[in-house]
Structure 1
Amino acid sequence: MEKQNFTISISAGISAEEAIKKISNVPAWWGITFSGNSEKQNDQFVVKMGGDSFFDFTVTELIPGKRVVWSITDCNMPWYSDKKEWANTRLIFDLKETGGATALTFTHDGLTPDVECYNDCAPGWTHWIKTSLFSYFTTGQGVFRPATK
């Protein structure tokens, strides 16, 4: 049986092009410390969630109006026994625009129920996508909350 990656979907009354612009403005919807660039293919950026934690990302795929993929090239998650658990996983944003609305399907490829952080990361992603990114899509403001750990 294939492992089930974490996936969640939202839909908002914006164009897919606008959705990609907003997804790429990471600090506006994901309450983290951000450095680097995330707008174009091959851009690199770093996300920090406090302490010694970090996540290094590369925009490995960008299909205008359709898809954005961020690959995690390195990380440190000091609160887990496998501090590199997200390394070599991918955050995938698939978009489909229909009739003035855009459906977004977010998948964290590699975040499956058998990994240590799943019980913290699944509710975290649910918040960041369904609440914060959706709010940013519809009101222009993300909804920040403390990190899960």
Structure 2
Amino acid sequence: MDNKSYTTEFSVNQTPGECFNAIKNFRGWWSEEIEGETDKLGETFLYHYKDVHLSKLRLSGEIPDKKLVYDVLDNQFSFTENKNEWRGTKLVFEVSENNGRTTVKFTHDGLVPEEECYNVCTDAWGNYINNSLYNLISTGRGVPNPKEADGFNAEIVKKWNLT
């Protein structure tokens, strides 16, 4: 990981195992609009937010209760000139314990200030990680994007060729 990639962290009273399991529950903190398994090594899943953002990710690395790595296999934004800016980046979660507190560190490896979406994306990650994931871990209730009324939009997956 380079030192310019976006990173943020928080600490909680819960165990590393509780934090680790909450991180893998993307529907509980990122979005209810996820298609596929988010918690199984080697599995891929699709995230989407309306017609603004669609991402295909794979859990590629796991050290139980310590580290998770998700590869961004494909990505489309409707609001940037380079529609697939995140492609080839990684979402890295590191969990550590110190003096009875657990720290969750998130790095979006490859999301750097030179990227067009950097300001929008770092604001969003700040909310998802430091608010929604934090609350899922500390209270059992995150604040993910809700499901759209019509459910997962399979047409946008076809339109953006992310199958």
TM-score, normalised relative to structure 2: 0.83
One-letter code aligned to 1:15: T
**2:96 matched residue in structure 1:** 96
Matched-pair contact (CA < 8 Å) for 1:38–1:45? yes
- Amino acid paired to 2:122: A
The answer on whether the counterparts of 2:32 and 2:145 sit within 8 Å (CA) in structure 1 is no
- RMSD of the TM alignment (CA)? 1.7
**Where does structure 1 differ by over 2 angstroms across 4 or more consecutive aligned residues?**
98-101, 143-146
Residues of 2 paired with 1:38 and 1:144: CA distance? 14
Report what 2:10 is aligned to: 10
- Partner of residue 127, structure 2: 127
Compute the displacement of 1:114 (Å).
0.6
8 Å Cα contact 2:32-2:144 kept in structure 1: no
Gaps of 5+ in 1: none
Q: Secondary structure at the match of 1:121?
A: helix
Aligned residues: 145
- Deviation larger for 76-85 or 32-41: 32-41
Taking only the aligned residue pairs, the percentage that are identical comes to: 31
The change in CA–CA distance for 1:145 and 1:59 in structure 2 (over 3 A counts) is closer
For the 8 Å contact 1:72–1:86, the answer to whether it is kept is yes
Structure 1 pair 145–40 and aligned structure 2 pair: CA distance change class (3 A): closer
Aligned to 1:65: 65
Structure 1 partner of 2:138: 138
Amino acid at match of 1:92: V
Q: Structure 2 unaligned runs (5+)?
A: 147-163
Contact preservation (8 Å) 1:40, 1:62: no
Residue 82 of structure 1: aligned partner:
82
| Mean Cα deviation higher: 90-99 or 105-114 | 90-99
Letter in 2 for 1:12: V
Task: From the CA coordinates, give the structure whose radius of gyration is larger.
Answer: 2
SS at match of 1:107: strand
- In the alignment, is the contact (CA less than 8 A) between 2:46 and 2:57 conserved in 1? yes
The CA distance in 1 between the partners of 2:46 and 2:31, in whole Å, is 13
Distance 1:63 1:75 in 2: 25
Does the C-alpha gap of structure 1 residues 145 and 38 become closer, same or farther in structure 2, counting only changes over 3 Å?
Answer: closer
